[in-house]
Structure 1
Amino acid sequence: MINAGNIRSSGVELHLNAMAVKSRDFSWEIDVNVDKNRSKVIELADNLKAYRLDNIGATYGNQGAQSSPFAGVPIFGGSGLTLVAREGSDWGVIVGKKIRTYQALDAAGNKIDSPSNGKRMVGPDGFYLYDAGQDIASVLPDFKGGVFNTFKYKAFTLKVMFDFVVGGKFYSTTRMFNAGSGLSEQTAGLNDRGKPKRDDPSTGGGVRLDDAVKADGSPNDIYVDAQTLYETKLFDLNEYWTYDKTYVKMREINLGYSLPGLLLRKTPFKTASIAFLVRNPFLIYSKVGGGVDPSETSSMWGEGGQLPPVRSYGVNLKFSF
């Protein structure tokens, strides 16, 4: 057994509790907790420059990350996605196939400015160019937190709690399989020429990757077969299925009522209340959009085919003697 390395974590946490409004019949109390934390890999064990986090015991040499299984996600197309801790980088870097981007060069090979710089590139066939074993993104969020509100009006109490995450990336197998099987909305409909995407490109159909440029930096004008694109070329193109994890999730709503003392006068109870509650009622906001709930991923960095999130309901009765 060895010490895996030296990881430095630093951050700040803010906790605020306040009575925002208070009157004779109504009050609003708010409790906010926000934290920001970064973990940086300072040094790993001898002879290691990177360490695979998704499979304990597997390591990488000085050449960097190799193909490997992604925790909770099977290997697709004979290659894999992995999570790595690398010296000098944030803990938790997603490594895999990354789409190549354009950089204009002068005759001497020096970088020069161009409006096409940074845009994705396609090859002569109109499909994305990519490189394997590349750093895609960090899984660490910019910050996260939660807000708990308590509203009281006479004998009624309403408690509302939600949490949020801003930043950080995750990998979605659900999105990839939906597109690869032709079930997602993006695989059907009309293209930018007003023709069905699934028609043959030679008759006006097909898909044009309009966020990309060709090798000379000119806008991509090549239309490709939709089935080939989603079933083969994009399937397992890891960066394409890596998304921002930013979300706001309603975690609990609780509505309660305290029975008046007159109703309890002839009972053994001093107080009694009833509350109706629902947990995980809905997702308020998700940057990734519909079809995937980033608050319910199987790990902090990916989901391997997501089941619908569970919403639960309950009734709470309280009595005091």
Structure 2
Amino acid sequence: MTKLNLTQFPNGTIDNPYYVIENNQQSDDRNRFVGNASLSYQLTDWLEVYGRVAVDSYNYIMEERQTDLIRVPARYNIRNVAFTEANYDLMFNYNKDITEKFNTSGVFGTNIRRSKNQSIYNSTSGGLIVKDLYAINNSVANPPAATETFTKIGVNGYFGSLSLGYDKTYYLDVTGRVDQSSTLPEKNNTYFYPSVAASFVFSELLHSSVLSFGKLRLNYAEVGNDAQAQSLFDVLNKSAYAFGSAQRYSVNDTKNNENLKLESTRSWEAGVETSFLNGRVSYNASLYNTNTLNQIMPVSVTAATGYTRKYVNAGDVRNRGIEMTLSGKPLVKQGFSWTIDLNWSMNRSKVMSLYEGVNNLNLGNYSTDMSLNATAGRPFGEWRGSDFVYLDGKPVINQTDGKYLKSDATSVLGDMNPDWIGGLMNTFTYKNLSFKFLIDMQTGGDIFSEDMAIGTRNGLYSNTTGLNELGNPMRDPISAGGGLLLDGVAPDGTVNTIRTEMRDRNHALGSPSAPSVMFLYDASYVKLREVSLSYTLPSKFVQRYGIFGAQVSLIGANLWIIHKNLPYADPEAGIAGGTLQGFQSGVFPSTRNFGFNLKLNF
């Protein structure tokens, strides 16, 4: 299997994708150990001392093997990573009834966390001497020096909690924690974060035959977050290549900051929990508000400083929302029951402020002029890029080349945040047999598809082929009746009369000719998320074998996308995490998963 000749491509040939799949291989080999040991001692009938040591350690080797391709020679990469995290806990747990109605409980203790991460990476250079022998020593040219990283993080924590309860009706919980982190400067490395929560079980006072349970709750919490390792002091980077006999060093692109402070999150939440008719119906709802302050982020600075970005404490991002669940059993009769569980949530984000003198922070750029942004006073994660130029609500077509006129790349086109998300679970049970299915849905949110931008440019999708309005192949030359007449108007407002060429990837429908808004889609979807069928074996049967209970289940997940607006892909596939969300690039087809589960109780 060799090269694939495609004469319509400017470079004449590309690599056969089947050849690439067959000959380019990646392997991961991981060994992991997770374990803990604990010891407790009851000092009194209400006080216990508890100690625990927990370790999570792994090492893995990642290898990438690439054969000779048209544009790049064969290469071999290897990365070896070793990670260890150890936690040491000492806690005093107490639970005491002060009076018949008044109870107090809680915990006081300390946590010591130590983590170490070490990696080494190397690759060949200039190809391989012996074909298909993947080893660093088989490099044609001298391989660059290995890239080594080593980080150690230590956090000392001291914490406590106090819970008070009175007459099974009134409850108050107070917590506090002090952390000392090695990733923050010595003068700012100790921080305190508290929480307080109150609840009132009002059903204890009503004694209603309709209301089975009712509780109101209100809480406030703060959480601290330190910096990533090696964010404080600047160091020189050793270049992989020397200048003759002299080793070269350079500064990092990002300026570190020895005056960083902790990042903190402050939130409050209020909610209600209710149950009616002996549990036949229940309803829960909560409102929340969260502000993330002093976020540790790299902001852009002028390259005249010698850097392109600088770590700072910046910004206040607010999230507000509501979450609700409703459950009910509309039918319970003669061994048969039907249970419905409905959940719904809505979140609204807003960038309250950014770094001093900065109104917009670019979170990421993409293959077109599209960018994801955090702008003061706007929702977090706004899409900005080029839009159509409109005249009387219709896109304007350039009568010289038949392509759309575009606005500049600062147009606000949408944001990545959904309007709301929800789910509906139905459970049908008849004696020992249970059948469940879950439908998930999302409304709103905008997703940018680099796959559509690049794929349309390269003619991979159906809108770039077929017959035009004259009945001729649109990929034929315009002189032969080909090309495509775009729907729109000329700059003077008359109907468009100029076709665009569709013979190569410079046509009007793909990147970079088309406005970026063409590749921004509504991320709404409705999915059949999961279906399961379970059977609980009769207890009389399984107890013969010393088993207290047994259940077998057939489970299917991600079975059907009932509705979506994004073509050719799952709206949830390929979406990155962290601050970079709401886009797709190089997405693989989503898969249906089927499984069998056996649960035994001894």
Give the TM-score of the pair, scaled to structure 2.
0.45
State the distance in 2 between where 1:98 and 1:301 align. 18
Deviation at 1:132, TM superposition (A): 2.9
2:442 maps to 1:165 = yes
2:408 maps to 1:127 = no
SS at match of 1:98: coil
2:574 maps to 1:293 = no
SS at match of 1:162: strand
Counterpart of 2:591? 310
Following superposition of structure 1 onto structure 2, how do residues 156-235 of structure 1 map, counting pairs within 5 Å?
A: 156-210=433-487, 212-228=488-504, 234-235=510-511
Query: Retained in 1: the 8 A contact 2:403–2:508?
Result: no
Which consecutive segments of 4 or more residues in structure 1 shift more than 6 A?
none
Deviation at 1:39, TM superposition (A): 0.9
Deviation at 1:316, TM superposition (A): 0.7
State the distance in 1 between where 2:473 and 2:359 align. 49
Alignment gaps of 5+ in structure 2:
1-259, 261-311
Query: Retained in 1: the 8 A contact 2:360–2:374?
Result: yes
Deviation at 1:51, TM superposition (A): 0.9
* Letter of the structure 1 residue corresponding to residue 584 of structure 2: E
Counterpart of 2:522? 244
Which residue, 326, 345, 348 being the options, matches 1:35? 345
Counterpart of 1:16? 326
Following superposition of structure 1 onto structure 2, how do residues 27-176 of structure 1 map, counting pairs within 5 Å?
A: 27-54=337-364, 69-70=365-366, 75=367, 80-102=369-391, 117-124=392-399, 125-134=401-410, 135-176=412-453
Deviation at 1:217, TM superposition (A): 2.2
| Structure 1 residues 231 and 216: CA distance shift in structure 2, 3 A | closer
Query: Retained in 1: the 8 A contact 2:420–2:442?
Result: yes
State the Cα deviation string for residues 121-156 of structure 1 (Å, max 9, x = none): 111132101123222211111111222221212322
* Letter of the structure 1 residue corresponding to residue 563 of structure 2: Y
State the Cα deviation string for residues 208-249 of structure 1 (Å, max 9, x = none): 211x22212233232211135665762134211111101112
Query: Retained in 2: the 8 A contact 1:28–1:151?
Result: yes
Alignment gaps of 5+ in structure 1:
55-68, 103-116
Deviation at 1:184, TM superposition (A): 1.0
Query: Retained in 2: the 8 A contact 1:179–1:231?
Result: no
Deviation at 1:12, TM superposition (A): 1.8
State the distance in 2 between where 1:232 and 1:219 align. 17
Deviation at 1:278, TM superposition (A): 1.6
State the distance in 2 between where 1:296 and 1:149 align. 25
State the distance in 1 between where 2:527 and 2:442 align. 9
State the distance in 2 between where 1:41 and 1:235 align. 30
RMSD: 2.1
Query: Retained in 1: the 8 A contact 2:459–2:505?
Result: no
SS at match of 1:216: coil
State the distance in 2 between where 1:30 and 1:19 align. 6
Deviation at 1:262, TM superposition (A): 4.7
| Structure 1 residues 268 and 302: CA distance shift in structure 2, 3 A | same
SS at match of 1:182: coil
State the distance in 2 between where 1:229 and 1:21 align. 60
* Letter of the structure 2 residue corresponding to residue 314 of structure 1: G
State the Cα deviation string for residues 249-300 of structure 1 (Å, max 9, x = none): 22221111122345335322232221011222231211123x1110113233
Mean CA deviation greater in 166-175 or 255-264: 255-264
Deviation at 1:182, TM superposition (A): 1.6
How many residues in Structure 1 have an aligned counterpart in Structure 2? Answer: 284
Query: Retained in 2: the 8 A contact 1:181–1:231?
Result: no
| Structure 1 residues 132 and 265: CA distance shift in structure 2, 3 A | same
Q: Flag the structure with larger Rg.
A: 2
State the distance in 1 between where 2:493 and 2:483 align. 22
Query: Retained in 1: the 8 A contact 2:573–2:588?
Result: no
* Letter of the structure 2 residue corresponding to residue 239 of structure 1: V
Counterpart of 2:317? 7
State the distance in 2 between where 1:24 and 1:295 align. 41
2:547 maps to 1:269 = yes
| Structure 1 residues 310 and 230: CA distance shift in structure 2, 3 A | farther
State the Cα deviation string for residues 39-95 of structure 1 (Å, max 9, x = none): 1223222101101223xxxxxxxxxxxxxx33xxxx45xxx4211111222111111
| Structure 1 residues 87 and 165: CA distance shift in structure 2, 3 A | same
State the distance in 2 between where 1:229 and 1:182 align. 7
Query: Retained in 2: the 8 A contact 1:8–1:42?
Result: yes
State the distance in 1 between where 2:509 and 2:573 align. 28
Q: Which has the higher contact order (CA 8 A, sep 6+)?
A: 1
State the distance in 2 between where 1:265 and 1:37 align. 49
SS at match of 2:456: helix
* Letter of the structure 2 residue corresponding to residue 83 of structure 1: L
- State, as a whole percentage, how many aligned pairs show the same letter: 32
Higher strand share: 2
SS at match of 2:589: coil
Query: Retained in 2: the 8 A contact 1:187–1:230?
Result: no
State the Cα deviation string for residues 173-223 of structure 1 (Å, max 9, x = none): 22223222222111111222322211222333211211x222122332322
SS at match of 1:282: strand
SS at match of 2:518: helix
| Structure 1 residues 261 and 239: CA distance shift in structure 2, 3 A | same
State the distance in 2 between where 1:268 and 1:162 align. 38
| Structure 1 residues 81 and 150: CA distance shift in structure 2, 3 A | same
State the distance in 1 between where 2:498 and 2:356 align. 49
